[in-house]
Structure 1
Amino acid sequence: MAQETGDKNDVKIEPEIKKVATDSMPTYEMPVNLAVVDTVNIDSVKTDTLPKKKPLLEEKVLDNAKGYRKYNTKENKIYLYDEAYLKYGDMELTAGIIIVDLNKNVAYAKGIVDSTGTYTQIPVFKQGSQDVNPDSLEVNIKTQKGLVYGSRTVQGEMNVRTQIVKKENDTLYYIYNTKITTSSHPDDDPEYYIKIKKGVLVPGVKVIAGFSQMYFYDVPTPIAVPFAFFPMTSEQKSGLIFPTFGEGSRGYFIQNGGYYFALSDYADLAITGDYYTNGSYGLNTQSAYALRYKFKGSFSFNYENLINGQKGFSSYARTSIYNLRWSHSQDSKASANSRFSASVNLGSSKYYKNSLNQSNTSNFLNNTMSSSISYSKTFPEYPSVNLSLTATHSQNTNTEVVSLTLPTLQASVERMYPFAPKEGSKKGIFQNINFQYTLNGSNSIETVDSLFMKKEMFDDAELGFKHTIPVTTNFKLFKYFSASLNFNYNDVWEFQTVRYNDYDTGLNDVVIDTIRGFDRFGTYNMGASLGTTVYGTFNFGEDKKIQAIRHVLRPSVSYSYTPSFDNYYDYYIADAEGTVADYTRFSGGLYGSPGKSYSNSIGFTLNNTLEAKVRDRDSTATEPKKIKLLNNLNFSSSYNIAADSLAWSAVTMTGSTQFFDSKMTVNFGATLDPYALDASGTRIDKFNIDNGGSLFRLTKANLSTGYSFSSKDFGKGKNEEEEEEANPQNAVTGGRTDDLFGVSQDFTDSRAMGRDEENDNEISNESYNNSIPWDLKFSYSFTYTNSARQAKISTNSLMFSGNIELSPRWKVGASSGYDFKDHGFTYTQFRFQRDLESWQLNFNWVPFSTRSSWYFFIGINSSVLSDLKWEKRRPSNQTL
């Protein structure tokens, strides 16, 4: 009673502050009056006849408060004020005020009102992994049942706000007047929420609710259901994927509906399907997998059975298309001496053109598909050996020609210097002599799309091996010249050769037999090269804007000798007149055939680079800035000493330069022929200048460039290395990673939903940085051909795309192009996107072409509530 009836004149003694630490709770700064209420009654007298009395509380109660701790003996209550703390078992409670009724074993908690009138130190109730922030609560510390008022908690992606919660046990809560939302500001006017009258919450698992209704900014909507189920988990869970509905040229349809399987923490699987009322259907499977520090990858297979027209009519057509994609990459930490990788994209040549699935909208412009699966192994012991196996696939979707290697073997032995000293550097011709051994083996198949993976595909498979032993050496000559000598020997093994029979008058043709069996041929060649580097600097003065220009020339001359291997050639009668022709049995071989032509040629090459030293615009810079005027400008040609005519080859010119701080690269090239043409356009052994023309004839020219820039390039603190991938989903479906060919995106894919919180944090209510973010990309290509006076422009096209953010949450974009040769626009797409915080609105429109279509979508960003959406589309009317 002294604590309550003490003399007011007593001297107040401040409690001594000590650090107290326990095994079950963190270290706190607290007064010495920290109480440990132990209600475990222990009988001091042992008895064999009476059972032990069950304790009032089975565990100790730990409590603390910054302001004061008061124990009222009359009421048998503990009062904790200001940063109050209470712990019992796995239950922790912090609040402004905590009152513990020891008679009822009930704890009451609420916040306190500070001097400004703000309700602070709101209670925080923790039990296990659950964390609840209510306005106030009362809980039985023994049974752990209780009532929570104004509860605020996060369950997975959901923010749950409940007026009253009745806690039954650790896994069951009854909720009343609850709001569920994925808004980033659930307590401050959320843009939407789902209101539940009554329901049951299983923390971290689900909410089972009765009548539920959606509200927009506290305005009720007609969107309501009599009962609802909400998953509340941050882990992957299996479940249904809600489909997309629409109408098109093949009738009504559903797309991308199916089931998602959360197989494990390392892999998942999604199986979806499409169905059209005219009988067309599709099946799609997609899986991703990853094992940290080992590998990661993804796999997908898409199949579509397409029907055009009505059965029984001439317009009826039915076809099947498919596409297989697999990507696998090994972590560099997984193995130091071996590596496995895969990048597969194969299927029907008309898959992208005829696919009805929304995710392939812009990929119909793809005209090639390629694949590569490789395994490499290094044996590090000297001499080290590198071994690799690669299976490749290349497919032209226009010609439908498919080329495969199943597989290609490559093995090489480390370069060895047999005459080099064991220590010190190598000097001279002799010590620099080196050689190595390389083995190439391949099983090559070329077929067409209709025969792919059928028995006939393997009928014309070619198998061969090539052994190569290069011997080289290099040395300095006259101090300023670098010289090299080389000798190469090739030995080719073939398992299929040909034999040309004499002309058959009955068949009126030459019969060619294919001979199965081992055969081989060997070839060799030798050569030498001599080159140097010349520097030229032109100084204009440090007070000039352009202070200096440096020109670097790298001229080189080379010599090559290849003998004639006519011993591998035979003769046959080619026609009825008895014309004799020669052939080699290795004709059409996998690694070529031995040459019959004797070659003795000299090659000339001149490489140029041009740099400038200019005064930096930054006045604080102490050094001038170096810029490249020409990255390279190369000229090459050759002269065949053994040729009796047309000894000079065409001069090839290639080059590149950069603009706008090296962000725009321009590549150009040309082919210049010194020989003239006759009246029929045939190249003749007469120089063009001697035929009344110029020194060279321009036979081919090309120019290509691309540039990408944005508003960030004109702002301060820009990151020059920043490079964003405009449309990563295009890459997943086998398309381009930029948006020059438009954006391919299925907004209904719940696995792709979710907000970019990093971008959200950048959006503020300020003046939007007094700028409007934008970006622009373009790509230009030009090719000119004049090999036989046709003076033809082969390609002349411009592709461009751009995006602009009209406001922090409004973004519009467009992709298009123009073909100056055929005078028409290329694939054009307009995009509109509205970020509604928790919601997303998208509208894509292709205004013209056979792929004209539009697609409208509005839905919740959260993957949990992705089925709450509305979409409308008009698909393209492309036919098979």
Structure 2
Amino acid sequence: MQALIKSFLFSAVILLLLGQSACRYPYYTPQAKMARKALQAEKKARKAAAAQLPASDTTIAASDEGLDQLPSTDPKARGGQKKETDKLVDAPALDSLPPSDSSQMALAAIDSSGTDSLALSQADSLPLIVFNPDSLDSPVQYDAKDSTIYDLMNQKIYLYGSAEINYGRYQLKAGYIEVDFLTSIATARGFPDSTEPSGIREMPYFSDGNQKFEAKKIMYNFKTKKGKVFDTSTEQGDGYFLSKATKFISKSGDSTASNDVLYAGGCTYTTCDHKYPHFGLRSSRAKVIPGKLIVVGPSFIEIMGSPTPLALPFGFFPITNSRKSGLILSTNIDFSPNWGAGIREIGYYQVISDQMDLKLTGDFYTRGTFRVNLESNYKMRYKASGGFRMSYARTVEDEPGTPDYSLLKDFNISWTHQQDAKAHPSQSFSASVNLGTSDYFRNTEPSANLTLQSTLQSSISYSKRFLGTPFSLAIAARHSQNTSSNTMNITAPQTTLTMNQIYPFQRKIQLGKQRWYERIGFSYSATANNSFQIADSLLFSADGLADAMEEAKYSVVHSPRVNLSLKLFKYINVQPTISYQESWYFYANEQSFDPTLVISADTSYDEDDPTIISNIDADTTFGTLNTFRDYGFNAVRNFSAGVNMSTQLFATGTYNIGRLEKVRAVIRPNLGLSWRPDYQSDFWGYYGEVQTDTRYPDELTTYRRFDAVPSGGEQALLTYSLNSRIEGKLKRSRRDTSKQKSNKFPILNNLNVSGNYNFAADSLRWSTINLNANTTLFKMVNATFSMVFDPYIADENTNRRLNTLEWTKNGRLARFTSGALALSTQINPNSLKQLFSDPYKSKSKKEEEAKSFDILQQLSLNYNLRFSRAYIEGVDSLQFTANEISMSGAFRLSKNWDIRIYRMGYDFDKKRITYPDFGFSRSLHCWEMGMRWQPEQQTWNFFVQVRPGSLGFLKLPVNKTRFDDY
């Protein structure tokens, strides 16, 4: 009875599958013959089962077999026991289309007379559905484009052509898949195809959400979540793991495993993505935890399929996409004739939090030279981001006791901090710090851009706006360092209180037109400064810093300002201004003269009378000038008044020269009057006089008693300037099909002429005339030009200005004295295409042009020319003080060859190349070779290495520093 029921259920499931599948199997295949026999047997079993079932029987015994395999007709297969509580469990269709009709699921009524301890009472209205513990936990979906064949006798399914099985998060694809429901194993293969690069068409592919790989053959058990693959390649981190045979276990299939695990034999780990890797670490066995680590046994390095003597007893390769704390193993072994053998960039990395990290690295050499770097980066969302780096270098040259021995100690500190705009509505904090010893980059970095830095600058600032008021507060610290003189100028702190411009006479309720006095504006600022100068080597010396602080300069500066804007004749803007500045100093810089004669050791005396000097060399000092501070409160006042008038004029000209249609000029003339008293007079007391030589008692030298005082001499200036912008308009080309009628282009972005006339001066009332202009050439070249003209003649021997106008003597307005020209451009493939491509060419020709432009990746050109005109030995001569071109860029000569010019210049005046810094690189697919050379500093670097990654330790660097002799 039970065997008939099982046969009936098995046949019903198969019919359901056949009815829902859209695939047909070939008629004469063995599987088709077995399927027809099964249909005939099913018909007989159905009739027998219907005849033997009593009409009053309300229970149907269900199979305990798993849903993933066909039910067995042998009761012994489930232990030889039959429970009265057995119920019919409907197996879901394997193609993921289970019947929606609830009548197809037989629910057994609960028999209260049964011995099952979990039985429910007959009064319970909720039926119990019992699932086999070996059943699958989710439906299996499958599909095939060519055909699907069902082997009912052997309980197998064959999928042909783009076959695919989906089971939960598991996905299996291949050209051919065979599913055995008795063992729950799916076997996938591809089709041999010589036209494919791999030799196999529709290569088997497997994915479980965590790992993905392709192989020639894949076997997978849906129950145990275990599988085996043959000739596979999986991507692990930044590398690839190749193996002949691999067994993988999913964590959901092993209760003791917390991760997916791969066990492989005959394996290779490489970062080369070629079909046949150019190199790799070959091992007989390995264990892989995807996303975490790879552990290999005895291994050796293999290059181009050939083993090398480079062997490892074992290997451990962390694989992670997230940050992890741990040691930083060096990939850079170096040797220097002066420093000895060394290891570079070794250290430790610490993850402090999700927002911050810390890295400590160092370079160490056997002869005592080392460099240590401490670096930290942080990023707090909606708050701030930045980075800190502190470096210390100790460079030993030659051996102690030798003439060339030297010990250099250098440091550098850099810090950047940027507050997010959303962090606070009224407060902000920013920092950009770059300070250290002047020779740090020259001794540690061969880069041209770093070595040629003439100044280092730093700034730390905090500001706060007082909401609802015009006031704001700013506190800053600044640093400026000259790398040539090794001196630092530090201003810390600098506190500024600012009141934005207010209009105190403006009415709260505006009725009618605005009165003139309502436009009177008032602003104010107060700044407290403390600054000092110190040598970079003494910055962290207690005595050196204390001495520098004793000479610190400190003051408080108040700057109120009143201004007014008026209209004259509707078109002229009139702006009267009154400015006042008061500086508070708590000391005065005084000078005194000591007339004591200072005689050098080589001074000769009269032989007869030693008190009589017979000969005095030029280095004899006739008196000494002493400088000291006279402490006390002092106020330095500086005020001026003036008025400026400006307007705006427009000029347009129509032309028919070629495509040039119009020229338009915008002219902004400005005329001003200003007055300032003579602060050098004794009335103010800002200047002092002192004798400097006992031989000339009547000659006095003027000095400033305070750190910042206005320049001497009364000024009553008439200032003038003429600012203009000129642009042109081109007619549309006949071949241009766009709707744009014309095209505007700048002729001169800006042209400015300025100067002044001093009514209060007793001579040389006209100032020099300054001319500045800038424009853009060919839409890609920025050009800046400046010239200075002098309306007075010059002395032919001393080049000093004489109080005679050029118009009077030479009949010209002014003479040329100096000028400068600067050209700069940034060129890339896109800019070249826009400049030289013809928009009316065919698409194929445009693509050919684009390939030729790809050679140039990036190019930056700068040209500087400075010249002056002066009398040299009585001859009016033109001198070039600077005439240099510099460039940087990258060029791709071919797919694998690159040349990079970090910096290269040529001085036309000295006729020599200025500090070249360039290199080249050759891509060898997964390897790369390159060299960087700085001939001026006699340093170079050569390397052959694996591209950066897990196997980055495969590297051969050869370096030469400026301390090495060869």
Instruction: Report deviation, 1:396.
Output: 0.9
Instruction: Report deviation, 1:564.
Output: 3.7
- Where 2:547 maps in the other structure, the secondary structure is helix
Residue in 1 that maps onto 2:56? none
Residue in 1 that maps onto 2:769? 651
User: Gaps (5+ residues) in structure 1?
Assistant: 18-27, 720-764
Instruction: Report deviation, 1:397.
Output: 0.7
Letter in 2 for 1:669: S
Which string of whole-angstrom CA distances, capped at 9 and with x for unpartnered residues, describes residues 503-542 of structure 1? 666994454431344432333211101112222211014x
> CA separation of 1:687/1:837 partners in 2, compared to 1, >3 Å: closer, same or farther?
same
Correspondence 1:633-672 to 2 at 5 A: 633-661=751-779, 663-672=780-789
What is the distance in 2 between the residues matched to 1:620 and 1:715? 20
Letter in 1 for 2:661: Q
> CA separation of 1:251/1:476 partners in 2, compared to 1, >3 Å: closer, same or farther?
same
Equivalent of 1:769 in 851, 856, 870? 851
Higher gyration radius (CA): 2
Letter in 1 for 2:683: N
Residue in 1 that maps onto 2:719? 603
1:178 has 2:267 as partner? yes
What is the distance in 1 between the residues matched to 2:919 and 2:691? 63
1:821 has 2:909 as partner? yes
Letter in 2 for 1:432: R
Letter in 2 for 1:779: N
- Tell me which moved more, 430-439 or 572-581: 572-581
What is the distance in 1 between the residues matched to 2:790 and 2:358? 58
What is the distance in 2 between the residues matched to 1:29 and 1:293? 50
Correspondence 1:357-372 to 2 at 5 A: 357=445, 360=447, 363-372=450-459
Instruction: Report deviation, 1:143.
Output: 4.4
Correspondence 1:409-420 to 2 at 5 A: 409-420=495-506
Residue in 2 that maps onto 1:120? 202
Instruction: Report deviation, 1:703.
Output: 1.5
1:478 has 2:607 as partner? no
- Number of aligned positions between the proteins: 805
Instruction: Report if aligned partners of 1:98, 1:107 keep a CA contact under 8 Å in 2.
Output: no
Letter in 1 for 2:851: N
Letter in 2 for 1:540: Y
1:233 has 2:351 as partner? no
Residue in 1 that maps onto 2:413? 324
Which string of whole-angstrom CA distances, capped at 9 and with x for unpartnered residues, describes residues 350-372 of structure 1? 222222x56x4652222211111
Instruction: Report if aligned partners of 1:178, 1:198 keep a CA contact under 8 Å in 2.
Output: yes
Instruction: Report if aligned partners of 1:420, 1:432 keep a CA contact under 8 Å in 2.
Output: yes
Instruction: Report deviation, 1:411.
Output: 2.6
Percent sequence identity is 25
Equivalent of 1:286 in 359, 365, 375? 375
What is the distance in 1 between the residues matched to 2:553 and 2:398? 42
- Where 1:715 maps in the other structure, the secondary structure is helix
Instruction: Report if aligned partners of 1:833, 1:842 keep a CA contact under 8 Å in 2.
Output: yes
Letter in 2 for 1:460: E
Residue in 2 that maps onto 1:396? 482
What is the distance in 2 between the residues matched to 1:510 and 1:365? 38
- Where 2:424 maps in the other structure, the secondary structure is coil
Instruction: Report if aligned partners of 1:420, 1:426 keep a CA contact under 8 Å in 2.
Output: no
Which string of whole-angstrom CA distances, capped at 9 and with x for unpartnered residues, describes residues 31-74 of structure 1? 23599999xx9998676799xx9974387342222359999887
- Tell me which moved more, 68-77 or 868-877: 68-77
Residue in 1 that maps onto 2:243? 162
Residue in 1 that maps onto 2:742? 624
Correspondence 1:345-384 to 2 at 5 A: 345-355=434-444, 357=445, 360=447, 363-381=450-468, 383-384=469-470
* TM-score (structure 2 length as normaliser): 0.75
Correspondence 1:205-244 to 2 at 5 A: 205-237=292-324, 238-244=326-332
Letter in 1 for 2:185: A
Which string of whole-angstrom CA distances, capped at 9 and with x for unpartnered residues, describes residues 569-610 of structure 1? 1766636676596978x7342xx2255532211111111222
> CA separation of 1:554/1:46 partners in 2, compared to 1, >3 Å: closer, same or farther?
farther
Residue in 1 that maps onto 2:401? 312
Residue in 2 that maps onto 1:461? 552
Residue in 1 that maps onto 2:960? 874
Residue in 1 that maps onto 2:137? 60
1:548 has 2:662 as partner? yes
Instruction: Report deviation, 1:477.
Output: 0.7
User: Gaps (5+ residues) in structure 2?
Assistant: 1-6, 24-93, 120-129, 252-258, 599-622, 838-846
- Where 1:310 maps in the other structure, the secondary structure is coil
Instruction: Report deviation, 1:802.
Output: 4.2
Letter in 2 for 1:624: S
What is the distance in 2 between the residues matched to 1:311 and 1:123? 66
What is the distance in 2 between the residues matched to 1:361 and 1:812? 16
Instruction: Report deviation, 1:710.
Output: 3.6
Letter in 1 for 2:672: S
What is the distance in 2 between the residues matched to 1:469 and 1:419? 17
- Where 2:272 maps in the other structure, the secondary structure is coil
* TM-score (structure 1 length as normaliser): 0.81
Residue in 1 that maps onto 2:289? 202
Instruction: Report if aligned partners of 1:429, 1:475 keep a CA contact under 8 Å in 2.
Output: yes
Instruction: Report if aligned partners of 1:428, 1:476 keep a CA contact under 8 Å in 2.
Output: no
- Where 1:415 maps in the other structure, the secondary structure is strand
> CA separation of 1:563/1:271 partners in 2, compared to 1, >3 Å: closer, same or farther?
same
Instruction: Report if aligned partners of 1:434, 1:471 keep a CA contact under 8 Å in 2.
Output: yes
- Tell me which moved more, 450-459 or 136-145: 136-145
Residue in 2 that maps onto 1:273? 362
Instruction: Report deviation, 1:191.
Output: 4.0
Residue in 2 that maps onto 1:737? none
Instruction: Report deviation, 1:200.
Output: 1.2
- Where 1:455 maps in the other structure, the secondary structure is helix
Letter in 2 for 1:405: T
> CA separation of 1:249/1:365 partners in 2, compared to 1, >3 Å: closer, same or farther?
farther
Correspondence 1:802-817 to 2 at 5 A: 802-814=889-901, 815-817=903-905
Residue in 1 that maps onto 2:641? 526
Instruction: Report if aligned partners of 1:490, 1:524 keep a CA contact under 8 Å in 2.
Output: yes
1:153 has 2:234 as partner? yes
Task: Tell me the C-alpha RMSD between the 2 structures.
Answer: 4.1
Letter in 2 for 1:519: N
- Where 2:438 maps in the other structure, the secondary structure is coil
- Where 2:565 maps in the other structure, the secondary structure is strand
What is the distance in 1 between the residues matched to 2:830 and 2:359? 38
Residue in 1 that maps onto 2:386? 297
Residue in 2 that maps onto 1:568? 684
- Where 1:65 maps in the other structure, the secondary structure is strand
> CA separation of 1:861/1:426 partners in 2, compared to 1, >3 Å: closer, same or farther?
farther
What is the distance in 1 between the residues matched to 2:808 and 2:175? 102
What is the distance in 2 between the residues matched to 1:123 and 1:2? 37
> CA separation of 1:178/1:426 partners in 2, compared to 1, >3 Å: closer, same or farther?
farther
Instruction: Report deviation, 1:183.
Output: 3.2
Which string of whole-angstrom CA distances, capped at 9 and with x for unpartnered residues, describes residues 676-730 of structure 1? 33344332322234345753232322121112324432326999xxxxxxxxxxx
What is the distance in 1 between the residues matched to 2:789 and 2:480? 32
1:32 has 2:32 as partner? no
> CA separation of 1:518/1:370 partners in 2, compared to 1, >3 Å: closer, same or farther?
same
- Where 2:683 maps in the other structure, the secondary structure is helix
- Tell me which moved more, 117-126 or 248-257: 117-126
Instruction: Report if aligned partners of 2:784, 2:822 keep a CA contact under 8 Å in 1.
Output: yes
What is the distance in 2 between the residues matched to 1:671 and 1:556? 19
Instruction: Report deviation, 1:141.
Output: 4.5
What is the distance in 2 between the residues matched to 1:363 and 1:113? 59
Instruction: Report if aligned partners of 1:809, 1:834 keep a CA contact under 8 Å in 2.
Output: yes
Letter in 2 for 1:304: A
> CA separation of 1:169/1:126 partners in 2, compared to 1, >3 Å: closer, same or farther?
closer
